[in-house]
Structure 1
Amino acid sequence: MPLLGPADPLPHVPRRVLVAGNAGSGKSTLCLRIASQCDLRRVELDSLYWGPQWTPRPEFRDEVAEFADQEHWVTEFQYNEVRKALLTRADTVVWLDHPFATVMVRLVSRTIRRRAGGVELWNGNREPSLWSAFTDSEHILRWGWKTYRRSRTRVLALVDEIVVVRLRGQGQVERWLAGPLASVGEERAR
């Protein structure tokens, strides 16, 4: 299948959409916008994965399998243990392939904003101390840095399996939402 760009028409009306990209690329935000525009159920994987005190929830895989069997949804393409199950059911992958600098600026600003505001994320969890970015090898800032290339490689490997829409930069995201996705959203509403 061809790798689609922000102006390319979609070959079908998306019903089960995965949004791929590095940490900080805007996956969750784009999921919300796609859900609204296409009337799809929005499932946030982080809310299913993380239990209190940043512990993985044992029911995560079962809950993902349950919603993946449904006909209409949008979620992030993350968490190794469920990627295959999600990909088996998905019909479209939207890839936020933003430049490294863009992703890191977004990730740092989001982390600082959440930490400074004491924002509760999932099940009572909050961003850890910014100092922990220097002491915790799994801190989100370090994770975003070290997984950037891996994320790109993973998505490029999908091009022969599923429709992949590649969006580089926020301008392309906006063009795609207003163009090809708006067209299929109107078609779905009929």
Structure 2
Amino acid sequence: MERILVVGVTGAGKSTLARALSGRLGLPYHEMDALYYVGPRWATNADLAADVARLTDGRCWIIDSLGYPEVRDLLWDRADTVIWLDYPRRHVMPRVLRRSLRRTVTREVVFGGNRETWAGWLRRDHPAWWAWSQHGPRAREIERRLHDPRFAPLRTLRFRRPRDTTAWLTGL
């Protein structure tokens, strides 16, 4: 386990687990959203593919994302382990709602110096809407990739309940 991809829907706890793994294993952690959103008004990284290629060229890394489309195959090709937080909506939605509410109320700065706003809650790309609408499609995409012969050598850990993830992490 040296090149780890932590996947799951928005709000599953990918970043939290990836940070914890980084601390336990001493591997560098790269937050995909921080690589993707690089400036005000949610400006995106035009050099994302090159940046991710450079990071994943290294011997060891942890990245917390299924991957944006332009780097998804690259991440899956270079990973040696996929950890799938395959939690049901009833676990994910309260998490993402609490996080977004906290970020909105406190005006917490997130990726690229941006903030979640009250107006943002009405947009289809808001984390709460995204987590709800993409829950099924994301799970199907991950399942498809895990059965794709190209990715057969990947070690896969699939957790369906947060307590199972916690128990596994504690046992590392």
TM-score when normalising by structure 2: 0.91
SS of 2:115's equivalent in the other structure is coil
Q: 1:142 aligns with which of 108, 114, 129?
A: 129
In the alignment, the residues of structure 1 paired with residue 124 and residue 101 of structure 2 have an alpha-carbon distance, to the nearest angstrom, of 18
In terms of mean alpha carbon deviation, does 20-29 or 169-178 score higher? 169-178
Q: Which amino acid aligns with 2:155?
A: V
Does 1 or 2 have the higher relative contact order (CA < 8 Å, sep 6+)?
1
Which aligned pairs between 1:92-111 and structure 2 lie closer than 5 A? Answer: 92-111=81-100
Which aligned pairs between 1:1-190 and structure 2 lie closer than 5 A? Answer: 14-50=1-37, 51-76=39-64, 77-129=66-118, 131-134=119-122, 136-160=123-147, 161=151, 162-179=154-171, 182=172
CA deviation map 1:25-48 (0-9, x unaligned): 000000001111111100011111
Please say if residues 4 and 61 of structure 2, whose CA atoms lie closer than 8 Å, have aligned partners that are also in contact.
yes
SS of 2:158's equivalent in the other structure is strand
Q: Which amino acid aligns with 2:170?
A: A
Summarize the Cα distance change of 1:53–1:132 in structure 2 as closer, same or farther, 3 Å threshold: closer
Shift of 1:156: 1.3
Shift of 1:65: 0.7
CA deviation map 1:14-69 (0-9, x unaligned): 00000000000000000001111111100011111112210112121111110011
Please say if residues 52 and 124 of structure 1, whose CA atoms lie closer than 8 Å, have aligned partners that are also in contact.
yes
In the alignment, the residues of structure 1 paired with residue 157 and residue 40 of structure 2 have an alpha-carbon distance, to the nearest angstrom, of 35
CA radius of gyration, larger in: 1
CA deviation map 1:158-189 (0-9, x unaligned): 3342221111122101111122xx1xxxxxxx
Q: Which amino acid aligns with 1:81?
A: E
In terms of mean alpha carbon deviation, does 52-61 or 94-103 score higher? 52-61
CA deviation map 1:71-93 (0-9, x unaligned): 10001222111110111110000
In the alignment, the residues of structure 1 paired with residue 44 and residue 68 of structure 2 have an alpha-carbon distance, to the nearest angstrom, of 11
Gaps of 5+ in 2: none
**Which consecutive aligned stretches of 4+ in structure 1 deviate over 6 angstroms post-superposition?**
none
How many residues matched?
Answer: 165
In the alignment, the residues of structure 2 paired with residue 64 and residue 26 of structure 1 have an alpha-carbon distance, to the nearest angstrom, of 21
What value does the CA root-mean-square deviation take over the aligned residues?
1.2
